[in-house]
Amino acid sequence: MPTGIYLAHLNPVTNAHVEIINDLLMEKDQIVVMPVRFLKQDQEINSKSFPFSYDIRKKMLEAVFGSNITISSNYTFFAPFKKYFPPLIAPKSWELRKQILNGIDDDYYTYTGDKAEGIMLKLYRLKPKVGTRREISATSVKNDMYDAVTSKKSEWEKNIPHQVADIIKENWNVVEKFSSSDDKTMRIAGMKFPKEGYNSK
C-alpha cells in the first residue's frame, strides 16, 4: 500500500484541507499529514500568518480524522532558515528531504495543490501528485477570524469543520494575540517563512 504524504501549513485546518485528505483516503493509501513547523532554538515560531502551534494543528487533525491518518512533525525547518536556500544547491534543503522521508517506505508520493510547489517537489525527487487548488484558503479564514476580534461582521466558522471551530474557540487568545500584529513573514521560492530566525539561530 503506497503512502501519501501531504505537506501543508494547515494553519488552521479548513474544509478544503479536509476535502483533500478525504480524497487521498479514498485511494485506500496510508496517509501521513505533515503540518510545517519553524523552530528556533527548539521553540516554534508563530505569527499572524502561522498563529496556531503544531500541537494545536495536530489536535485539529485528530478531531476530524481520528486514527484514519498519521500526523508527523518531520516537515520542520530549523533556524537559520536561510541555510535551506538556494533550493537544490543548499545541502540543508536535501537534509529536509531526508527528514520528510524518515520512517516512510519506498512506495510513497507527495501531494500538493500548487503547481509551483509540484515542480519543486519533483526536483527533490519526492514523486508529487499535483491536484487542483481549492477555493477556500486558510488565509481568508484567518482574516475572517481576525475581523471577528475587532467585532467586524465575520463568518469565520463557515469554511472550517465544527471540530476545528471548537478548538479555535478554546484557543481564542491566540487569535486575539495576533489580530493586531503585523505579518512578520516573507515569501521565498513561493513559500512563506517567518522573518524571525531567517538569518539567526
Whether 175 maps to a domain, the answer reads: yes
Give how many domains the chain has, as a whole number. 1
Q: Is residue 55 part of a domain?
A: yes
Per the structure, the complete domain to which residue 70 belongs is given by: 3-194
Instruction: Tell me what the mean pLDDT of segment 66-92 comes to.
Output: 95
Q: What is the 3-state secondary structure (H, E, C) of the chain?
A: CCEEEEEECCCCCCHHHHHHHHHHHHCCCEEEEEECEEEECCEECCCCCCCCCHHHHHHHHHHHHHHHCEECCCCEEECCHHHHCCCCCCHHHHHHHHHHCCCCCCCEEEEECCHHHHHHHHHCCCCEEECCCCCCCHHHHHHHHHHHHCCCCCCHHHHCCHHHHHHHHHCHHHHHHHHCCCCCEEEECCEEEECCCCCCC
Task: Please tell me the predicted confidence (pLDDT) of residue 191.
Answer: 84
* Side-chain half-sphere CA neighbours of 16 within 13 A: 19
Residue 201: inside a domain: no
Mind listing the pLDDT tens digit for each residue in 101-145?
999 988 999 998 878 788 889 989 999 999 887 778 888 999 999
Looking at the chain, the whole-number percentage of residues with pLDDT higher than 70 is 100
Q: What span, in angstroms and rounded, lies between the C-alpha atoms of 164 and 43?
A: 24
What is the percent of the chain with per-residue pLDDT over 90, rounded to a whole number? Answer: 78
Q: Kindly state whether residue 69 falls inside one of the protein's structural domains.
A: yes
Asked whether residue 66 is domain-assigned, the answer is yes
For residues 190 and 114, what is the distance between their CA atoms, to the nearest angstrom? 10
The residue with greater pLDDT, 200 or 19, is 19
Q: Is residue 200 part of a domain?
A: no
71 or 135: which leads in pLDDT:
71
Whole-model pTM: value is 0.94
Note whether residue 125 is domain-resident. yes
Report the pLDDT value the prediction gives residue 82, as an integer from 0 to 100: 95
Domain annotation covers residue 170:
yes
Burial category of 115 from C-beta neighbours within 10 Å (exposed 0-12, middle 13-18, buried 19 and up): exposed
pLDDT computed for residue 148 by the predictor:
94
CATH number for the domain spanning 22: value is 3.40.50.620
Separation of alpha carbons 58 and 93, rounded Å: 24
For 147-186, how does the pLDDT look when each residue is reduced to its tens digit (9 = 90+)? 999 877 788 999 999 999 999 999 999 999 999 999 999 9
